[in-house]
Amino acid sequence: MRSLLTLPVACIAFAVLGSGALAQYTAPVDVNSMLAGLKDLKAKQAKSATSQLAQTITDFSNAASSDGAATEFYLEAVRITQFAGESHEQTAFRDWKKKEAAKLNPAAIRTCLRYTIISLQRAAGATDAQIFPVLLGYAQDTSASLSDIYGDDIVRQSVANNIFARWYNITGQLSGLDNWESSPQNVDGIYQKFLLPLMRKNHDQRAIQYWDGKIADETARASKAATAFTVDVFNQDRLPELYWSRAEDLLAINLRDQGLTEMYTVIKKFPSHPSAGKWIDELQGLLTPPAAPTAMAATAPAPASPASASPAAPVIGSASPAARATVAH
């Protein structure tokens, strides 16, 4: 009962003291001085963030330099994120390490670190021109070593949520990047979301190299299938789709005649494909010239006076071949 009685008294006393203190020390706000102070603090904060980012990239780059460095860096990340602060921390971590360390894949860890660095650079404002060669090199290297790392947790999960992002508290910086693949192992996603759109924009023939490599890789994998049925499905369904996508990108990079010829070849060779009807319509549209303005539109009388004139209506017709050549994948 005593505590219940004294609580309101204490609260009242605090309120009176607080209001008196506020009344005693309140002064007019010096707006200019406060704004100047905020400007200075913002500059210091930006400098600190830049310094922290540079240090993070340095740490990750050093860790990715060798298998041994990558493994030790990963183990330290596990210790900090999973065991720090627990009772018997060292014992628990040592027991985990005995069971799990031998299962680690240094190549996958290094791949994850490398993609995290590139993603951080993009998040920090690297332009398309700056990031393109770096990301292309990563995609080519990762594609060549994909069989060694594919399916490992660290390259399968989102770059924003990997153990290094959590350890360095950079999840927020890596979340929500526009036109950016989140998984380090998804080379196709990297091409589709970032690399191919820029290649089409710049008429870069490396877009066709991508399709040639993809067709070769998928054909090789299909040839190892256990059943003839699986191989047949690939040859009759998946392979024509790959060739069609390649032909579309030939148009997109301004190799029009070659693209149209290859489209026609795909349709002629696979007339029973589920998408054949759509492909025929698309190719017919590309081959058909835009409709010319009607005679009535060409000879229509001019408005009586500028004051009563209305904006000219746009000519409605099929899109130009160049416009149709830009195909989204």
Cα–Cα nearest to 250, from 265, 267, 262: 262
Answer with the residue of higher pLDDT: 290 or 317.
290
pLDDT reported for residue 329: 38
With 70 as the cut, is the pLDDT of residue 77 above it?
Answer: yes
Structure tokens at 85: 């602060």
With 80 as the cut, is the pLDDT of residue 33 above it?
Answer: yes
Residue 113 pLDDT class (50, 70, 90 cuts): very high
Secondary structure of 269-303 in HEC code, one letter for each residue = HCCCCCCHHHHHHHHHHHHCCCCCCCHHHHHCCCC
In the numeric block, the tokens 């540079």 are attached to 54
Residue 297 pLDDT class (50, 70, 90 cuts): low
With 80 as the cut, is the pLDDT of residue 47 above it?
Answer: no
CB-count burial class (<10 Å; 0-12, 13-18, 19+) for 185: buried
Q: What is the mean pLDDT of residues 138-165?
A: 95
Under DSSP, the state recorded for 170 is: -
Residue 42 pLDDT class (50, 70, 90 cuts): confident
pLDDT reported for residue 307: 40
Under DSSP, the state recorded for 86 is: S
Close Cβ partners of 74 (under 8 Å, ≥ 6 residues apart): 104, 109, 154, 163
With 80 as the cut, is the pLDDT of residue 71 above it?
Answer: yes
Give percent of the chain with pLDDT exceeding 90: 68
Q: 8-17, 134-143, 179-188, 291-300 — which is least confidently predicted?
A: 8-17
Q: How confident is the prediction for the chain on average, in pLDDT? A: 85
With 80 as the cut, is the pLDDT of residue 200 above it?
Answer: yes
Residue 302 pLDDT class (50, 70, 90 cuts): low
pLDDT reported for residue 206: 97
Q: What is the mean pLDDT of residues 269-286?
A: 97
pLDDT reported for residue 279: 98
With 50 as the cut, is the pLDDT of residue 174 above it?
Answer: yes
Distance CA 168, CA 77 (A): 9
In the numeric block, the tokens 């991508």 are attached to 210
Q: What is the pTM of this model?
A: 0.76
Q: What is the mean pLDDT of residues 10-35?
A: 63
Say which amino acid occupies 210: Y
pLDDT tens string 114-150: 999 999 999 999 999 999 999 999 999 999 999 999 9
Distance CA 319, CA 313 (A): 16
pLDDT reported for residue 305: 44
Residue 6 pLDDT class (50, 70, 90 cuts): very low
Under DSSP, the state recorded for 326 is: -
Under DSSP, the state recorded for 162 is: S
pLDDT tens string 211-238: 999 999 999 999 998 899 999 999 999 9
pLDDT reported for residue 88: 84
Structure tokens at 95: 């027991």
Distance between start and end Cα atoms, the chain = 73
Cα–Cα nearest to 108, from 60, 156, 161: 156
pLDDT reported for residue 191: 98
pLDDT reported for residue 299: 55
Close Cβ partners of 280 (under 8 Å, ≥ 6 residues apart): 267
Distance CA 292, CA 176 (A): 45
With 80 as the cut, is the pLDDT of residue 188 above it?
Answer: yes
Q: What is the mean pLDDT of residues 143-161?
A: 95
Distance CA 105, CA 101 (A): 9
CB-count burial class (<10 Å; 0-12, 13-18, 19+) for 253: buried
Give percent of the chain with pLDDT exceeding 70: 81
Residue 250 pLDDT class (50, 70, 90 cuts): very high
